Chains A and B, each alone.
Chain A
């Protein structure tokens, strides 16, 4: 009986994360349209309706999906049949599973069990997310290679080059966070961010590692292949790796970008914005630094934490969308220079400074 319950709980945890990421990714097509429209004094897509009900254009993602699924699924004559079909699935799969190690809450105690609110509890969670994000580029390269189209291959090559230069910066910038919180486990890192600096300031990553935050977000946007760094795609004028794709396979590549946005937002939240931490909320209620205390039941605390995580991820997605609709695209050489001569040396500098501060503050 307990084995069945355990299985059910594990399934529920995975299903929660899976549905959260998938639905948020689908919703992002709507968010992108509406947010960009409001930023540009427009109204945005609002015509799709069911029985005359428009709901601010919320049916447009649905209409998009129906359109994508009913379009012709074209494959070029010389394309590598197996790899061509596999590529979009690889892209979506890795961006989907990357979220699994990101904790969306602390521990839920129910029925004598302690349920960790995380799809999988991994001691090397940060490496896992990082690895899955990097593997996503395989789908892109596969697509470029299998299309038997030189432009697609060039796009895939740009994607690979961008990915390498971004990933070095991601890896080097999170090193500082790992040094401060002393763990590769994302849950431990989030717990560490609950500590208070000087008794009142929550020790979130953005407070302890401000430079790493900027570097990580910049490199993270590059990893999502969205606009300031969309040289691999460049769907509007330069040709990218998915030229030969149509129908739902194209839709899956577009979907993978949105899923990666969710993953980068989730990872930024977990590493720099305190994850599920609510300022001054402890396991038994609020303990404000000015002396007030509000006691809360366990379930309320857990719900507050999950709510805080969702709110922070949404805020981060808003910021990523804001950046995407504000900046023009980097030229290929500018993106390379920024990655190798800007982000990478600065991340190394950040590691050095963090090490020195840690040495000075808490001598072993």
Chain B
């Protein structure tokens, strides 16, 4: 240590100059902000529920099942996603499809989001591009484990996120949180 550093007071004063510099600079910016200069901000804080940062386009969020033109699921219940899922959170029950050109369709398609690890393997494994993770929805919660199981109907009703990454469909409310 140099002599100036060993002498404690000088270093303390330089530290105080730094922190008080930040204080007065930010205080001035807060005042400017309050006076109407909304482009000046005194803090780097993003106030989360009201303000959100844009999500990255590749972000893996809540799953959705892609629909055909008639509204039925594009899924053919091939069980690829259920097989590849490392968390084993997908449960599919297959059924005959009324259209003979299409082999099968899921009678049930449940995802237990309490177990899901959001690895995205189901999306990659799907040969029909029937499941995607692009809804932009991250804030889903439940008071029970059962409430974390999302069924086919819920997953079919979701829409992809908008160009800014914001969800376009509302966050599905699990059964145990409906009044």
Contacts and interface: CB of A to CB of B under 8 A. Distances in A.
A42 B16 contact: no
B51 to A, nearest CB: 11
Given A322-B16, A327-B12, A39 B23 contact: yes
Contacts of B16: 322-323, 326
Interface string B1-35: 00000001100100110111011001100100000
Interface string B122-137: 0000000000000000
Interface string A37-80: 11111110000000000000000000000000000000000000
B19 A38 contact: no
A35 interface: yes
A286 interface: no
A250 interface: no
B15 A39 contact: no
Contacts of A353: none
Contacts of B18: 326
A326 B15 contact: yes
Interface of A (DSSP majority class): helix
Contact of A322 (B20, B26, B43, B45): B20
A250 B22 CA distance: 32
B147 interface: no
A136 to B, nearest CB: 25
Interface string B103-142: 0000000000000000000000000000000000000000
A214 interface: yes
B19 A322 contact: yes
Nearest to A338: B8
B99 interface: no
B19 A41 contact: no
B56 interface: no
Contacts of B42: 38, 41, 43
A35 B23 CA distance: 7
B44 interface: yes
B23 A38 contact: yes
Nearest to B17: A326
A16 interface: no
Given A41-B26, A326-B15, A214 B43 contact: no
A38 B27 contact: yes
Contacts of A325: 19
Given A322-B16, A342-B8, 4 more contacts: A38-B42, A42-B45, A325-B19, A326-B16
Interface of B: 8-9, 12, 15-16, 18-20, 22-23, 26-27, 30, 42-45, 47
